Structure 1
């Protein structure tokens, strides 16, 4: 099986939590049709049905229940990795030595751009 991008597990977890394609679409900023297409792609990737209808709600199949915990873990690891990089970037110290004329003219706009 090819590894899915993180949008599929993210949408899958949103559907599992909301029990609805439409409600999860609101949470993820996607249309109900886009959520439905993503879940169809995920079902194709894993080779088992993940949902069954119960009125307007989506119930998780046994295969979906087996996938839910690893999907949440994938998302957590991804979030932790991004946060680690963000925190590392903020934790650095920048020391610049320059002559007086450079620090008064050229350096302020350069540092402002770096800060942005």
Structure 2
């Protein structure tokens, strides 16, 4: 039976969909833009000619802006790093904020707390 001795690492990586985003990263950026469009569009609600229509318009336009600007930034940010770097970084941020307990990020040196000095040969 033939065996493939060399299997490229890039064979199982998710393909780049657009502007450096994989499909999961693209959906994450679009979702952040969708939610970010709400506070950006609230000041436009108070304009007399615009009204409440500014909120759904902002929610539809902000993902486009975030994906266009963020695509170049993400491709530069991920250059030379592992494939899951963005997701591991987000998991680390969640752990630091306190939303996740699956990642151990607290490292400390060992400390021996003795009340009296240690003498060799005694317990």
Shorter-chain-normalised TM-score: which range? under 0.3
Which structure's relative contact order is higher, taking Cα pairs within 8 Å and 6+ residues apart?
1
User: Per residue, is there more strand in 1 or in 2?
Assistant: 1
State which structure, 1 or 2, has the greater radius of gyration over its C-alpha atoms.
2
Normalising by structure 1, what TM-score?
A: 0.28
Normalising by structure 2, what TM-score?
A: 0.27
